[in-house]
């Protein structure tokens, strides 16, 4: 009898250990994809002394990592090509319209309006549409970023991402799809129209405010607004709060690394360590997800400029840009959901202590843009 009880206790202990030590293979596979997409152009750029030219490919490689909803290989490659096409089209439109306000502003409004209603089509177009709007902003505000060498790096990372997905599929088969977080989407045509107009208005205001400052400010302010403003009031408010916290954490970590260990090899190694961790915290710890992205991008910028005074200015400016973008998104969200604004903010304050848990209020599951940065 004692032996049976001892055996039962050992089985329970093993079961508990197995549950605690469980590792999600799908998350490891996604982390490897980010590591390859980011690490390949980074290492090649550093070795060849072209870190500045490789910077765009590093960021685009991260974007390609988000554009991977899983499933079969043809589905994953199709989304990758679609994302690359959307970014290419956005960059081309932004670059060609950069010197004509009469063309630039209507185009940007049209693009962001399309992104605003994109969640009606599923999970793919909200992500690829945001990437297109960001590429439009980069090419319009900072045309020097569109150089032949940088284009070759971006094309190279596209091929690397396709090859990495192919090898991943051949080794492990279909990649399990990431579950979509439950969202309270706008109701009816009027609700969607109001959200699309508010989203486009916020993004356009971010572009205008950024342009009054300088091109680099424009890119970060617009990107912040596009990313945190979702078709769900509570999701938007939560992202705004957590993006502020995460950006401060990422900037502080980048400052410690760049000033404490000003070594190109060490900074490169830090980026390679951070890269595979980026996709793991999107759903439940958005602040940490944001911190890792900010840290990775700022360290990549440091490799590109190699100037201590320049990185100091960059770190402080990124905090300002983030606060501007979040403020614009806050106003846009309140305009998109005027009746829910006060109630959702109160709910967010009540839920902050439990933000580490994935549970949300009883909301219907809906397709949403959960694969963005």
Whether residues 34 and 163 fall in one domain: yes
| Residue 368 binned pLDDT confidence (cut-offs 50, 70, 90) | very low
Do 49 and 109 reside in the same domain of the chain? yes
Q: Both 213 and 336 in a single domain? A: yes
Does 327 reside within a domain?
A: yes
> Considering its fold, how many domains does the chain have in total?
2
Residue 72 resides in a domain: yes
Provide, rounded to the nearest whole percent, the portion of the chain with pLDDT above 70: 81
Reduced to 3 states (helix: H, G, I; strand: E, B; else coil), residue 214 is coil
pLDDT of residue 218 exceeding 50, the answer is yes
162 in the same domain as 311 = no
List Cα–Cα distances, 113 to 94, 222, 331, 335, in angstroms: 16, 14, 17, 15
Residue 204 has pLDDT above 50, yes or no: yes
Alpha helix segments (H runs only) across the chain: 2-20, 25-47, 51-66, 73-96, 101-117, 124-141, 148-172, 188-213, 215-228, 233-260, 264-274, 286-305, 308-336, 341-351
Residue 368 counted as domain residue: no
Domain match, 118 and 258 both: no
Instruction: Tell whether 14 is covered by a domain.
Output: no
Is 369 within a domain?
A: no
pLDDT digits (tens, 9 = 90+) for 80-95: 999 999 999 999 999 9
* Domain boundary, last residue among 114, 143, 175: 175
76 in a structural domain: yes
Q: Please check whether residues 221 and 344 belong to one and the same domain.
A: yes
Would you say residue 284 lies in a domain? yes
Domain presence at residue 7:
no
Please check whether residues 119 and 171 belong to one and the same domain: yes
Mean pLDDT, rounded, of the chain: 84
Domain of residue 114: give its range: 26-175
Is residue 280 very low, low, confident or very high in pLDDT (cuts 50, 70, 90)? confident
In this predicted structure, what is the pLDDT of residue 302?
A: 86
Residues 87 and 59 in one domain: yes
87 shares a domain with 198: no
pLDDT at 343: 56
- b/e code 292-324 from CB counts within 10 Å (16+ = b): bbbbbbbbbbbbbeeeeeebeebbeebbebbbb
Do 209 and 277 lie in one domain? The reply is: yes
Q: Which residue has the higher pLDDT, 247 or 347?
A: 247
pTM of the model: 0.84
For 294-343, the pLDDT digits (tens) are: 999 999 988 887 655 556 777 888 899 999 999 999 999 999 988 765 55
Tens of pLDDT, residues 150-161: 999 999 999 999
């Amino acid at each position: 009898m004692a032996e049976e009880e001892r055996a039962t206790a050992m089985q329970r202990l093993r079961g508990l250990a197995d549950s605690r030590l469980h590792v999600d293979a799908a998350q490891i596979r996604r982390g490897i994809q980010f590591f390859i997409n980011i690490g390949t152009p980074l290492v090649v750029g550093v070795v060849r002394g072209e870190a500045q030219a490789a910077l765009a490919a590093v960021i685009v490689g991260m974007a390609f990592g988000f554009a991977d909803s899983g499933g079969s290989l043809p589905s994953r490659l199709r989304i990758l090509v679609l994302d690359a096409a959307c970014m290419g089209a956005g960059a081309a439109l932004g670059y060609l319209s950069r010197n004509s306000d009469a063309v630039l502003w209507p185009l940007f409004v049209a693009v962001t309006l399309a992104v605003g209603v994109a969640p009606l089509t599923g999970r793919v177009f909200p992500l690829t549409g945001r990437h297109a709007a960001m590429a439009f902003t980069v090419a319009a505000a900072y045309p020097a970023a569109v150089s032949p060498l940088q284009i070759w790096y971006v094309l190279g990372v596209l091929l690397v991402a396709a090859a990495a997905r192919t090898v991943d599929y051949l080794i492990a088969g279909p990649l399990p799809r990431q579950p979509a977080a439950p969202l309270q989407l706008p109701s009816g045509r009027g609700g969607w129209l109001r959200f699309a107009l508010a989203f486009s208005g916020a993004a356009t205001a971010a572009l205008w405010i950024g342009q009054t400052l300088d091109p680099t400010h424009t890119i970060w302010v617009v990107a912040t607004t596009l990313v945190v403003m979702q078709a769900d009031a509570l999701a938007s408010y939560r992202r705004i709060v957590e993006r502020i916290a995460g950006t401060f954490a990422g900037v502080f970590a980048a400052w410690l690394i760049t000033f404490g260990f000003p070594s190109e090899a060490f900074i490169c190694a830090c980026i390679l360590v951070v890269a595979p961790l980026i996709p793991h915290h999107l759903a439940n710890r958005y602040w940490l997800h944001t911190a890792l992205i900010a840290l990775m991008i700022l360290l990549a910028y440091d490799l590109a400029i190699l100037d201590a005074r320049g990185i100091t200015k960059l770190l402080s400016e990124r905090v300002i840009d983030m606060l501007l973008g979040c403020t614009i998104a806050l106003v846009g969200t309140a305009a998109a959901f005027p009746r829910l604004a006060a109630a959702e903010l109160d709910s967010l304050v009540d839920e902050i202590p439990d933000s580490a848990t994935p549970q949300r209020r009883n909301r219907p599951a809906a397709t949403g843009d959960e694969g963005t940065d």
